[in-house]
Structures are given as C-alpha cells and as structure tokens.
Amino acid sequence: MLHALLLTLIALFVTLFVFLAWNLGYWRRRGVWEPYALPLLGSFPNMVWPRRHFLNDMREIVIVVDFLYKSVWSKPTYCRQYRSTHSYVGAYLMRAPKLLLLEPKLINEVLVSAFRCFENNDASRMVDTRKDPFIACNPFVLDGDEWRQQRGIFSPLLTSGRIRNAYCNMQQICGQLCDYIEEQSKSGQPFDGTDLGLRFTSENLFDCVLGIKARSFTANPLPVAQHNREMSEDNYRLALAGALNGLFPRLPRRLRPKIVPPSYERFFGDLVRQSFHLRRCRRQERNDFINHLLDLQLQHQLTEDQLTSHAMTFMFDGLDTTSSTIAHCLLLLARYPECQQQLFLELAKASAKDQLLPHFELLSELPYLSACLNETLRIYPAGGWASKTCTEAYTFHGSHASDPLQMLPGDNVMIPIYGLHHDPNFYPEPQLFRPERFLNGGLKRFQQLGVFLGFGNGPRQCVGIRLGLTQTKAALASIVKRYEVHVNVRTLDGIELDPYIFVGAHKGGIWLDFKRRKL
C-alpha cells in the first residue's frame, strides 16, 4: 500500500515536472539563443516569487536565479550583455514561450511598419468578453476586425473640441484639488501622492465622461479608490487569468475566468446606467462625451452593455495610469527642486498670477512641462512591457543575427519597455530625472529610435493619449503653480518598483508635503 502510494506520488511529480519543463528549449530548437530558465518560474522568476519587481528580470534577464542558486553560481549574467551581440533572445513567461526583442529596429517593425503581422495584443488571450461585458468593447483586449470596429467607434469620442470643453470643467476641478491640498495641509500629515492623483483623476473622469460628481475632495467621496484597488491591486481573478495564460498559453476561451470583480461591476455599472438615464430624461445638446456616447448608440445600434463598456473604457484606461503618472511626476519634481523651479517659471510666464492654468492651446505647447511628463513616463512607464501575437508569417532580419528568423502565426513577442527606458546606451545615467532629454526634438528622436514607448506606438498606441496628457498636465501645472512640492521622509530613496503591484509603482508609496508659494 505504502509502496503504491509512493510510486503514485513519484509519477505525479514526474508528470508535473515534465508538464512545466516541456516548452523549455522551444526557441533553442528554432535557432534562437535561450537564456537560462526554470520550470514554472520561466525567465522572470519574480513574477511568481516576488523579491523585486519582475520588470527588473525583464530588464536584466537573470539567467541564473541567484536566490535559488547563489551558493552554486558565482553571479548572475544579464541580458544587457547580449544587446551588442543579439537582436532577440528566447524567454518564457512561466511556460509560455516569448521572443524578447532587444533591438529597437525590430520593436519599431512590430509596432509600426509590420503592424499588420503583429496586430493583436497578448492580453486578449486572458479575457473572455462574454463573461466580462464591461471590457467587451475595450480596444486593448480585442483582436483583428473586432478591434478595428470598436476603435473606430471609440476614437471619434476624443476630438479636440470635446477635450477643450472638458478642459473648462478641468480648470474648476484643479481649483478644488488645490483647495483640498490647502485644507489638508493644516493637519501636518503627509499626502499620499497616489491617492491625491486618483482623487483628481476620478473627479475629472466622472465629471467629463458621466456628468457625475465623485465628491473626491469632500469628507464623503464616492468609494472610487476602494473599487479601483479591487480591480487593479487586490484582484485574484486577474492574477488567476495571468497565471493560466502563463501555464496554458492556448487555453480555450470558454475556460478563461471572469476578471472583473462583481462588486466593481455593480458599483460602476449602476453609476453609468444612472448617468445615461438622467441625460436621456434631460436631453441637453452639449458637445461632451456622454452626449456623443448616446449618439453613437443610435448610430451604431449599440446595446446597453456595449454602451456601458465604451464608457468604462475611459475608467479602465485612465484612472490608474493617469493618477500614477501624476504621483510619480510630483515625486521626481520634489526630488529635483531645480527642475521644479524651472517648471514653475515656465508656468508663471504662461499665465497671469491669479490664473491657475494657462489656456488650453498653450498648456499642450509648454515644452518643459511636456519634457517633465515624458521623463516621468520614461522612469516610471505606465506599462512596463508589451506582448504582441504574430497574426501573419513574418521574417525578422536582426542586425546581430546570422540567419533570419521566421515568425509564425501564434508566436508571441515581448517588448521590454522598462528595460529600453532604463538602458544607459540610450539614456545616460538613466536613474536620474533629466527632463532636458526630451527638449529640442528629443521626444521625436527617441520615438524614431524605438526606445521611448510612454504611450506605446503605432496604430495600437493608447487611444486616449490626448485626454490623458491634458488632464495630467493640468493637475501638475495647477499644483506646481500654487505649491512647492517636497518629499516626505516616509518616501523611500531610489526608484525601486513595488514587487507586489503589477503596474510599476514606487516601492513604499509616494509621500509628499506641500508649501504654499508666495506670489
């Protein structure tokens, strides 16, 4: 009996090991250099066993997993050493084979010139839109013709005229943001920068998209932050979907789990439905987002679920990314007071003393404000990596590859955005905040090189880029115009990412102090 049980356990262990290790060697068999990887942990062990953020694994591609083999191997070897001799290396996201691109020229091909062969995001493999109607129309998780159709419906929402109209309300919300800072500063407690950014972003998006006041700067706000954490930080469903995608890369759609928490769906669903009901009852001809959404419903015969999903695209794509960028930019400006002072002088010149923000057209043209924002996105990119699926056969001709590599439909490529942004070959002293990198045509130069992907690139770059830039710049400009920003002692030094937060965020939180400027 005991002998049979032992044999059964051994058989199960061997079967599990073979299953986890089966794909290892996939790239080597195709003639691609394949750094060291482990069963289950793959090439990015910190995604499974987080001692540091896995984006650092991607940046350095740890061949030797030093926390397991430190006594055996003298030191880890890093991917950076391959950049001068390899255009790409074979990697594994758990069990899923990924071609990690190292040469910017090839990254530009995938995102721009050869887009038709890599038009699908890998995120679509994690989602069953029938189970998650909230994201069924979100262009980020859609493929092929469905992506083109929904993006074609959503993109006309974001015209310059509507963003300009939203900016009028945005100015009032920036005033409320500064008044909130003034009032809360009396307590002497530091500000949580991420919370402050989320309060502004939720108030702005709720107002301009749904026509609802989120009451973010009152003592009784809508619980946006709580539900946002349920979706982005404490979402075991999303973690499960990611794990299944890593373990079973070709998992049938019907077996993919629901990723939107029911409580999140109820909260936002009720608000969106109430918003549309009120606007239908009190029809107002306004050039705003909610009116245009209702017009789209009639024009494209959208169902209520599709209409809700389009409205929620603003929330999914804008809440976390914008609030995080605002918080990180404030942190970096606080650490570099000379940069903060230069930004203040630019803002003071662009608007009168009693004017919190410059005019809409001028705001987008302020070079140093744009440079500060782009340098923040370089250091703390909202998306630290991208994964694309090959949809048509394509051949890579890498500068460091002796033979061309034929990519087949279904193959995945990974783009190490965080690694590119922190590569000293492109950005000398990458750990330093230097906005001047992006002045005098710097942004265009880095984009053409394929080494700056703050908002992505090509046809599938962030669909809400103009709205995101406008609200981020408005928040930063209003705060810096009125306050000096200082780092609180609770904030950890360095630019280390929190390993337990999937989207790159400063480890330990962003804690800030504000001092009213004397104008």
Domain boundaries, the chain: 123-358
Residue with tokens 């029809």: 283
Q: What is the pLDDT at residue 389?
A: 94
Name the band, by pLDDT with cuts 50, 70 and 90, for residue 359. very high
Contact 91, 63 (CB under 8 A): no
Contact 47, 94 (CB under 8 A): yes
Binding residues for heme: 462
Contact 391, 117 (CB under 8 A): yes
Q: What is the pLDDT at residue 482?
A: 96
Superfamily of domain 123-358: Cytochrome P450 (1.10.630.10)
Give the Cα-Cα-Cα angle 408, 409, 410 (nearest 5 degrees).
110
Q: Which residue has the higher pLDDT, 288 or 194?
A: 194
pTM, entire model: 0.91
Binding residues: 462
pLDDT in tens, 83-115: 667 889 999 999 999 999 999 999 999 999 999
Name the band, by pLDDT with cuts 50, 70 and 90, for residue 302. confident
Taking the C-alpha atoms of residue 246 and residue 180, their distance in angstroms, rounded to an integer, is 44
Q: What is the pLDDT at residue 79?
A: 45
Taking the C-alpha atoms of residue 258 and residue 135, their distance in angstroms, rounded to an integer, is 11
HEC letters along 475-498: HHHHHHHHEEEEECCCCCCCCCEC
Q: What is the pLDDT at residue 481?
A: 96
| Three-state SS at 217 | coil
Average pLDDT of the segment spanning 371-389 = 94
Name the band, by pLDDT with cuts 50, 70 and 90, for residue 190. very high
Pairing between β-strand 96-101 and β-strand 412-415 as defined by DSSP bridges: parallel
Nearest to 309 by CA among 123, 133, 155, 467: 133
Taking the C-alpha atoms of residue 486 and residue 331, their distance in angstroms, rounded to an integer, is 8
How many C-beta atoms surround the C-beta of residue 72 within 10 A? 8
Burial class (CB in 10 A: 0-12, 13-18, 19+), 270: exposed
Q: Residue 58 carries which side chain, given as an amino acid letter?
A: M
- Please check the confidence at residue 384 and state whether its pLDDT lies above 80: yes
Q: Which two tokens stand for residue 153?
A: 């419906």
DSSP alpha helix (H) spans, 364-515: 367-379, 417-421, 442-449, 465-482
- Mean pLDDT, the chain, rounded, equals 87
Taking the C-alpha atoms of residue 453 and residue 24, their distance in angstroms, rounded to an integer, is 30
Average pLDDT of the segment spanning 346-354 = 90
pLDDT in tens, 216-265: 999 899 898 888 888 887 788 888 888 888 888 888 888 899 999 999 99
pLDDT in tens, 151-168: 888 888 888 888 888 898
Nearest to 407 by CA among 388, 435, 379: 388
Q: Mean pLDDT check: name the lowest of 13-17, 259-263, 381-385, 428-432.
A: 13-17
How many C-beta atoms surround the C-beta of residue 251 within 10 A? 16
- Please check the confidence at residue 81 and state whether its pLDDT lies above 90: no
Contact 76, 64 (CB under 8 A): yes
Q: Which two tokens stand for residue 393?
A: 């056969």
Dihedral (C-alpha) 102, 106, 108, 111: value to the nearest 10 degrees?
-100
Name the band, by pLDDT with cuts 50, 70 and 90, for residue 174. very high
pLDDT in tens, 34-76: 887 888 888 888 888 888 888 888 887 632 333 333 333 334 4
Q: What is the pLDDT at residue 373?
A: 97
Name the band, by pLDDT with cuts 50, 70 and 90, for residue 514. very high
Residues of the chain above pLDDT 90, percent: 47
| Three-state SS at 514 | strand
